[in-house]
Chain A
Amino acid sequence: MEQEFVKPTEAQLKARRKRSVAIALALIAFVIVVYVGSLAKFGPALFDRAM
């Protein structure tokens, strides 16, 4: 199968970089929301479990 490389333009690379940063920030924010939210919802009981 004949293949060839596609070279993204500078604008496409820049946009992709920005999207990657935004996705990373959104993921970090989501993890923090779930972690902190769980602590707030369950309180100290969250850690009260059999080892």
Chain B
Amino acid sequence: MALVDQEHMKEAGYRLSEATPGDFIALLKPRVMSLVVFTAFVGMAMAPATPNPLLALIAIAAIAVGAGASGALNMWYDADIDAVMSRTKGRPVPSGRVTPGEALAFGLVLSALSVGVLGLMANWVAGALLAFTIFFYAVIYTMWLKRSTPQNIVIGGAAGALPPVVGWAAVTGTVSVESLILFLIIFLWTPPHFWALALFKSADYERAGIPMLPNVAGHAATKKQIFIYALLLAASGLLPVWAGFASLAYGAVAAALGVGFVWYSWRVLQMPESDQAMKPAKALFGYSLLYLFVLFTALLADRLAASLGFGFGS
């Protein structure tokens, strides 16, 4: 039973929390976290060294917690706009289950712990990169770019593209051309992925006052940008073959996936302005998730085949 002063009880901020552990897990954005874990794992697996499996597992966990911490900081800062968007109004902070202060403290503590553990258990290059990733997502993207420019997710996408670089650095202690190619693939994937979503959720973003490209430059300009990025992405998917760290078999898979991405983007480009259902945009959004997952799985399978002596030549 809590003993409190009556004065304190009158303060608007006084409350007894009903937040469950599930609410705090939701603050970590588990779905985003799963993508981060997967891409970071691929970054580690592609690195030209064999880490201690236990330390690799701890490094992956630290990267996952770091990504989750940046999600919590994002939800702390964005609670006002999350509350007016249908996709996000049920999140723990806007729904009142977790206070902004709790989300902030949770995010800061987990940020410090994840960076510290990664630095101590792997190396400080990886630790510093993870700290930079959290800073970039929470401060550069969330606090600055998201509300001020339609290029928000283009520049901010760097944060989401860094996990394979962190994973690679956790094993090698360096940043290399190979890990930067993995970064580039996710960096170029991010704009068409989010702009496809922004097209069919533009009313939501309008209501929240977020300057997403469809709201600022219009749907026609967004569709053109999506198509341009799709072409760049399809080409970048082949870079691992060019750089010599993936085989031609991977190249064939990447080419097929890239053609698919360009095809879905072409359908979005052809989508009439009057189309309210926006099925092509929804299809592209779904395909983009599949694209990244299959492409990185292909890289992983390629590396596994090579290490087992089933290389297909590069």
Contacts and interface: CB of A to CB of B under 8 A. Distances in A.
A45 interface: no
B1 A37 contact: no
Contacts of A36: 54, 58
B53 to A, nearest CB: 9
State the majority secondary structure of interface residues on A: helix
Contacts, number: 63
A30 B110 CA distance: 11
Interface stretch (B2-10, B74-82, B252-260): B2-10
Residue of B3, B52, B121 with most chain A CB atoms under a 10 A cut-off: B121
Interface stretch (B13-21, B137-145, B196-204): B13-21
Interface in A4-48: 4-9, 11-12, 15-16, 18-19, 21-22, 30, 33-34, 36-37, 40-41
Contact of A3 (B6, B21, B113, B121): B6
A9 B2 CA distance: 12
B291 interface: no
Contacts of B117: 33-34, 37
B18 A6 contact: no
A21 B2 CA distance: 19
Interface in B1-56: 1-6, 9, 16-21, 24, 52, 54-55
A15 B19 contact: yes
A11 B97 CA distance: 12
A19 B55 contact: no
B61 interface: yes
A2 B21 CA distance: 34
Contacts of B5: 1, 3
Contacts of B113: 30
Contacts of B121: 37, 41
Nearest to A34: B117
Residue of B3, B18, B19, B52 with most chain A CB atoms under a 10 A cut-off: B18
A15 B17 contact: yes
Nearest to B19: A15
A18 B121 CA distance: 30
Contacts of A4: 4, 6, 9
21 contacts: A1-B5, A2-B6, A3-B5, A3-B6, A5-B1, A5-B2, A6-B1, A11-B18, A12-B17, A12-B18, A15-B18, A19-B19, A30-B113, A33-B117, A34-B117, A37-B54, A37-B120, A37-B121, A40-B55, A41-B55, A41-B120
Given A4-B9, A37-B117, 7 more contacts: A4-B6, A8-B1, A21-B21, A22-B24, A33-B117, A37-B121, A41-B120
Interface of B: 1-6, 9, 16-21, 24, 52, 54-55, 58, 61, 113, 117, 120-121
Closest 10 A/B residue pairs (Cβ)? A22-B21, A40-B54, A37-B121, A12-B16, A15-B18, A37-B58, A6-B2, A8-B16, A40-B52, A5-B1
